[in-house]
């Protein structure tokens, strides 16, 4: 699903109005009706107090349409106009008239702190104060209004965007932003919904298709893409019946050190469970029996050294090399990694201490094969590219880095971001149970397992992150966030594939 900027959305809006020969008010009615339908589906006529806070722009106009439709269905609705300016939009005004004509339950104008209404625990608050038109931080009593709503224990549903949240920048410390429980957003999710610094304002999120011009949407270059089930399905290559293990490639997992052989077991298990034809590990001697016992399906080669890697064989017949997990940063390990980078032409996936070595010995970066997949978590990324001021600055810095080094970066997080050239892919599977030791080792193994099966490195990264998250979701369903461990994510990869290939309905949600 494409993620568009506010100006792209406004353009789509204008083109839709022109091409479909409708008024902007018609489009507002269409969009807000979708919101009403979602609310009605869930509330089923329940008699709870619905308190709708409307701004005076089109986000407020949406709020007024939602209010009217709820009133027509006999909901217990009270509308408050957050009257921050007299510059009311035309579509706000015509819906203001419509609601006044409908009932004597007129909207109440709020003009300052003294007008704040009572909000109770069981209230259902709808935030239609600001949407994508926000152009400066909230101030004065309007900021206080937002903080007041946040302080209530009412459920807050944000329309299009939580009010106070910009679509293209991070709020400053202390800025007032609605902390929504749920956000119903129009046509396209916004990039800020997925950034670590802003995702908490959004709560759960659902995208409502409002029928914007299809041709325009299909041609426009998005600022990022959200990867859900449908996108992942499009990346999947079905297996040919007439095939053998040689068709699915050979993964080499090189890494590990004394006390850290488990990371190799996890990555290698994941590569095999993702479908690699063969997996060989290259580890220090101390790991020989561990891997042979834990994973009889793997072949094991050992370094001359007992505790760490000092001499990785570079003439191995692998299709992809996965390096770095548990490998440590001893000088002799750095040397053999350097040799490996200089010698190999194979695609690589580099994780953990492999990344830390690259950060410490910057000169190695020039030897990375093109399209190497680097899989840092935020701390590893920071060591690699330096500090950033906020999440937008981080994106810019990653893009500069990948342009210079011609690599793919998989930045792990609640929403993992995959950066390739100018493109950004944002994963929509996964859960907090995956914040557990070894989860990253499994991901590296998954991506390597896909590359070995001839998926392009970018496709392997995007599909691998999706499947890894899905397997995490399946593990969480069975074991709960606390109970699941990364070995479960590796074990359940097969179920993630089955889920991908099953016929079940996906609905409008992008996972």
Ligand X SMILES: NC(=O)C1=CN([C@@H]2O[C@H](COP(=O)(O)OP(=O)(O)OC[C@H]3O[C@@H](n4cnc5c(N)ncnc54)[C@H](OP(=O)(O)O)[C@@H]3O)[C@@H](O)[C@H]2O)[C@@H](O)CC1
The answer to whether 318 and 344 are in contact (CB under 8 A) is no
Encoded one letter per residue, x for contact with K ion by CB under 5 A and - for no contact, window 105-134 reads ----------------------x-------
**How many residues in the chain?**
511
> For the chain, what percentages of helix, strand and coil (3-state, to nearest 5) are there?
45, 15, 40
For residues 128 and 408, which CB has a smaller minimum distance to ligand X in the complex? 128
Cβ distance to ligand X smaller for residue 162 or 438: 162
Find the binder of ligand X among 3, 9, 424, 450 (CB under 6 A): 9
Q: CB of 507: closest distance to ligand X in angstroms?
A: 20
Q: What is the DSSP code string of 149-178?
A: HHHS-SEEEEESS-TT--SSSPPPTT----
CB of 369 closer than 8 Å to CB of 344: yes
Pick one of 36, 84, 193, 337: the residue that binds ligand X (CB under 6 A).
84
Beta-strand pair 320-323/348-350: parallel
Residue of 187, 305, 416, 486 that binds ligand X (CB under 6 A) = 187
Please give the sequence-ordered ranges of beta strands (E in DSSP) within 331-428, or none if there are none. Answer: 348-350, 373-374, 408-411, 417-420, 423-427
3-state secondary structure of 401: helix
Q: How far is CA 408 from CA 233, 342, 373, in A?
A: 21, 19, 5
Instruction: For helices 262-273 and 493-501, give the axis angle rounded to 10 degrees.
Output: 30
Pairwise CA distance, residues 150 & 231, whole Å: 35
Q: Does 87 bind ligand X (CB under 6 A)?
A: yes
Among 4, 8, 55, 420, binds ligand X (CB under 6 A): 55
Please enumerate in sequence order all residues whose Cβ is within 8 A of that of 377, keeping only pairs 6 or more positions apart, or say none: 411, 412, 413, 440
- Measured from the CB atom, the residue of 17 and 199 that comes closer to ligand X is 17
Report the distance separating Cα 414 and Cα 434, nearest Å. 9
Q: Which of residues 200-219 bind ligand X (CB under 6 A)?
A: 210
| Residue 225 Cβ vs ligand X, minimum distance, rounded to whole Å | 18
Binding segment (CB under 5 A) for K ion, from list 160-168, 306-314, 447-455, 475-483: 160-168
Residue span binding K ion (CB under 5 A) among the ranges 159-167, 296-304, 384-392, 468-476: 159-167
Binding ligand X (rule: CB under 6 A), the pick from 136, 219, 244, 345 is 136
Which lies closer to ligand X via its Cβ, residue 129 or residue 484? 129
Residue 426 partner contact from ligand X, K ion, none using kind-dependent CB cut-offs of 5 to 8 Å: none
Q: Does residue 159 interact with K ion by CB under 5 A? A: yes
Q: Which residues bind ligand X (CB under 6 A)?
A: 9, 13, 27-28, 31, 55-62, 84-85, 87, 89, 130-138, 142, 159-161, 186-187, 210
């Amino acid at each position: 699903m494409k993620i568009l900027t506010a100006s792209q959305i406004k353009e789509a809006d204008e083109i839709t109005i022109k091409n479909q020969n409708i008024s902007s008010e018609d489009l507002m009615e269409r969009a807000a009706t979708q919101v009403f339908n979602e609310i009605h589906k869930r509330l089923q006529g329940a008699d709870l107090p619905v308190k709708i806070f409307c701004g005076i722009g089109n986000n407020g106009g949406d709020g007024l349409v939602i209010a009217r439709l709820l009133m027509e269905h006999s909901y217990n609705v009270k509308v408050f106009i957050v009257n921050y300016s007299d510059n009311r939009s035309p579509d706000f005004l015509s819906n203001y008239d419509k609601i006044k004509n409908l009932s004597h339950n007129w909207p109440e104008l709020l003009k300052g702190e003294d007008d704040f209404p009572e909000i109770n625990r069981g209230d259902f608050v709808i935030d239609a104060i600001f949407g994508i038109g926000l152009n400066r931080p909230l101030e004065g009593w309007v900021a206080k209004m937002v903080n007041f709503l946040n302080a209530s224990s009412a459920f807050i549903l944000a329309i299009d965007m939580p009010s106070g949240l910009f679509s293209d920048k991070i709020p400053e410390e202390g800025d007032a932003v609605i902390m929504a429980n749920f956000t119903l957003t129009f046509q396209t999710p916004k990039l800020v919904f997925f950034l670590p610094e802003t995702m908490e304002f959004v709560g759960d999120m659902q995208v409502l298709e409002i029928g914007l011009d299809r041709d325009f949407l299909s041609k426009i270059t998005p600022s990022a893409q959200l990867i859900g089930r449908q996108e992942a399905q499009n990346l999947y290559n079905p297996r040919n019946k007439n095939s053998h293990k040689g068709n699915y490639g050979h993964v080499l997992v090189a890494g590990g050190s004394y006390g850290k052989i488990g990371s190799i077991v996890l990555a290698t298990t994941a590569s095999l469970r993702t479908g690699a034809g063969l997996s060989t590990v290259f580890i220090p001697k101390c790991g020989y029996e561990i891997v042979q016992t834990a994973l009889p399906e793997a072949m094991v080669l050992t370094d001359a050294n007992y505790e760490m890697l000092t001499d990785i064989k570079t003439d191995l017949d692998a299709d992809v090399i996965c390096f770095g997990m548990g490998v440590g940063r001893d000088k002799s390990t750095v040397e053999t990694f350097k040799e490996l980078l200089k010698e190999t032409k194979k695609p690589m996936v580099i994780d953990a201490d492999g990344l830390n070595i690259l950060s410490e010995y910057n000169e190695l970066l020039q030897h990375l094969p093109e399209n190497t997949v680097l899989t840092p978590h935020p701390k590893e990324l920071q060591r690699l590219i330096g500090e950033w001021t906020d999440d937008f600055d981080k994106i810019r810095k990653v893009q500069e880095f990948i342009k210079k080094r011609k690599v793919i970066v998989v930045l792990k997080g609640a929403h993992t971001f995959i950066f390739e050239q100018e493109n950004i892919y944002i994963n929509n599977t996964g859960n907090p149970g995956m914040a557990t030791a070894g989860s990253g080792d499994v991901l590296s193994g998954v991506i390597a397992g896909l590359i070995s099966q001839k998926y392009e490195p970018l496709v392997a990264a995007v599909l691998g992150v999706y499947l890894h998250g899905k397997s995490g979701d399946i593990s969480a369903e069975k074991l709960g966030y606390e109970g699941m461990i990364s070995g479960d994510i590796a074990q359940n990869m097969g179920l993630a594939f089955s889920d991908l290939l099953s016929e079940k309905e996906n609905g409008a949600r992008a996972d």
